[in-house]
Amino acid sequence: MKTSVLHMKIRDSLENNIEAAKTAIQKSAKQKPTLIALPEYFTVPNCMGDFTDAKKISEETCQKTLDFLEKISAELDDIYLLGGSVLEEFNGKYYNTSTLWKNGSLLAKYKKINPIAAEIKAGVAKGTTPVVIDTEIGKIGLLVCADTFDPALIKQTANLGAEIISLPVAAMGTHPTVKGHPLTEQIARDYGLFILKVGNVCSSMRGGRSAIIAPWGILGEVTDAPEDSILTRELDMARLREYRKKLSKS
């Protein structure tokens, strides 16, 4: 199963980010993947440099981003689209929300359970419920960035049957520099999962480097080039399920 993650350079305006995402999605679709994934907060301008007011950011970016995802998904031919994340209002609170789309339909929505300190300070609320959706390509679990530091949540998501983890990320300036993918590699290995880690150019050296990770190693990762790039790899679901069988017996 061919899968593409879109490593993006974040622009200075919502409109420019949407246009860049549209270009990347359309270019990726020509490779005929089954799944395309976008980064965390991919339409929020300036790499979250002005991330201080959740209400303002949500009002300026959320609905236009969701409208874009619905429209572009409808233009794809039976391709699943993991929509990175948006800052969505729900019952007067603002959540870092990840979405899954297909053929213009919203299939799943997940509210980040572990927003970072800067998000909380800006007014981002904590979600409460892990999400795994069963699709014809496998069971997809939705997480966002710092959720990977929550062992209980990882275990919950794995116990719900997740075979593929969507992990949009965006490492802010306070995030320490990370070499490689030690945490996500361990999660993939320990639970028998594919992890689609999708970051952006300005955060790549701080832990936001995009990569596709299998239990048996990194299938591919982006370079340090400060430009948009598409990383496409095959996910061998048969091999994954054999790995999981052996894991369950160990």
Average pLDDT over residues 72-83: 97
pLDDT at 142 over 80: yes
Amino acid at 43: T
Average pLDDT over residues 27-49: 93
pLDDT at 172 over 70: no
Residue 111 to residue 94: CA distance in whole angstroms: 9
Contact call for residues 201 and 163 (beta carbons, < 8 A): no
Residue 157 to residue 187: CA distance in whole angstroms: 11
Burial of residue 193 (CB within 10 Å: 0-12, 13-18, 19+) is buried
Dump pLDDT digits (tens) for 52-62: 999 999 999 99
Could you tell me which residues are beta bridge partners of residue 58?
A: none
Average pLDDT, the chain: 93
pLDDT at 174 over 60: no
State how beta strands 229-234 and 164-168 pair. unpaired
Q: What is the DSSP letter of 45?
A: G
**CATH class of the structural domain 2-249:** alpha beta
Average pLDDT over residues 155-160: 98
Amino acid at 62: C
Could you tell me which residues are beta bridge partners of residue 182?
A: none
Sign, CA torsion 36/39/43/46: negative
**pLDDT recorded at residue 175:** 56
pLDDT at 92 over 60: yes
Secondary structure E strands in 80-119:
80-90, 93-102, 105-111
pLDDT at 50 over 80: no
CA end-to-end span of the chain, whole Å?
A: 27
Q: How many CB atoms lie within 10 A of CB 129?
A: 8
Half-sphere exposure of 207 (CA within 13 A, CB side): 20
**pLDDT recorded at residue 204:** 59
Least confident span in 62-66, 174-178, 202-206: 174-178
Residue 250 to residue 247: CA distance in whole angstroms: 5
